[in-house]
C-alpha cells in the first residue's frame, strides 16, 4: 500500500510540472513535428502587439533556424548559413487574425528572394493554431487552395520572453 501511494505522489508531482495548455488565444508555444524536423513557434503579446519567433531543429542537426523576437532569422544547413530573413507580425483589423510576413534572401544552394504571407488562426478551444499561406513568391492563394499547416499548443508560456532576452 505504501508503494502505491509513492507512485501516486510521483504522478501528481509530475502532473504539476507539465506546462499549462489552455485557450490563451495566440499567446503561447506551438509545435509541429515529424521524424525529420521539429518546428516551433512562440507568440508573445507585448505592449499591445504580438511578437513572433520561429525555431526549427532536425534530429541530425543538419538543418536549424534561429529567430529573434524582433524578427531577424538565420537558417543553417550543414553548419553553414543558407538564408537570412525577417518576420513582421500584425493583426488583420477585419478578421482579428494574426498575419505573419516573411521577407529575405536565400544564399545557398542557389540565391533567391523569399516572400510569403501567412494567416494564423487559433482553432476553437485554443489547442491548435492553423497557418494558412495567403501569398508566396507573388502567387496568391484563396479558400481551400491555401496551403495549411497545423501546430499544436505545448504551453501557455514562451521560453525566454522578449523582455528577459533584452536584459542580457
- The pLDDT tens digits for 6-35 are 333 333 334 456 789 999 999 999 999 999
Per-residue burial over 146-160, b = 16 or more CB atoms within 10 Å of its CB, e = otherwise: beeeebebbbeebee
Which tens digit of pLDDT belongs to each residue from 77-92?
999 999 999 999 999 9
At 125, list the grid cell: 478551444
% of the chain residues with pLDDT over 70: 87
DSSP structure class, residue 97:
-
Give the pLDDT confidence of 46-66 residue by residue, as tens digits.
888 999 999 999 999 999 999
Q: What is the pLDDT of residue 72?
A: 97
CB count in 10 Å sphere of residue 120: 23
Instruction: Supply the pLDDT for residue 10.
Output: 35
In a 10 Å sphere around its CB, with 0-12 CB exposed, 13-18 middle and 19+ buried, how is residue 121 labelled? Answer: middle
Residue 4, pLDDT score:
40
Confidence tier at 2 by pLDDT (50, 70, 90): very low
pLDDT of residue 164: 58
Average pLDDT rounded to a whole number, residues 124-131: 96
Residue 9's pLDDT is 35
- The whole-number pLDDT of residue 104 equals 97
Amino acid at each position: 500500500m505504501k508503494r502505491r501511494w509513492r507512485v501516486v505522489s510521483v504522478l501528481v508531482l509530475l502532473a504539476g510540472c507539465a506546462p499549462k495548455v489552455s485557450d490563451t488565444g495566440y499567446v503561447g508555444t506551438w509545435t509541429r513535428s515529424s521524424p525529420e524536423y521539429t518546428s516551433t513557434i512562440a507568440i508573445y503579446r507585448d505592449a499591445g502587439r504580438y511578437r513572433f519567433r520561429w525555431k526549427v531543429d532536425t534530429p541530425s542537426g543538419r538543418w536549424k533556424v534561429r529567430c529573434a523576437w524582433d524578427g531577424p532569422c538565420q537558417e543553417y544547413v550543414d553548419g553553414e548559413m543558407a538564408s537570412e530573413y525577417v518576420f513582421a507580425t500584425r493583426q488583420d483589423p477585419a478578421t482579428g487574425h494574426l498575419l505573419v510576413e516573411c521577407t529575405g534572401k536565400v544564399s545557398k544552394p542557389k540565391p533567391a528572394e523569399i516572400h510569403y504571407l501567412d494567416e494564423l488562426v487559433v482553432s476553437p478551444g485554443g489547442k491548435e493554431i492553423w497557418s494558412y499561406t495567403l501569398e508566396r513568391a507573388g502567387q496568391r492563394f484563396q479558400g481551400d487552395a491555401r496551403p495549411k499547416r497545423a501546430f499544436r499548443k505545448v504551453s501557455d508560456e514562451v521560453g525566454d520572453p522578449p523582455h528577459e532576452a533584452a536584459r542580457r
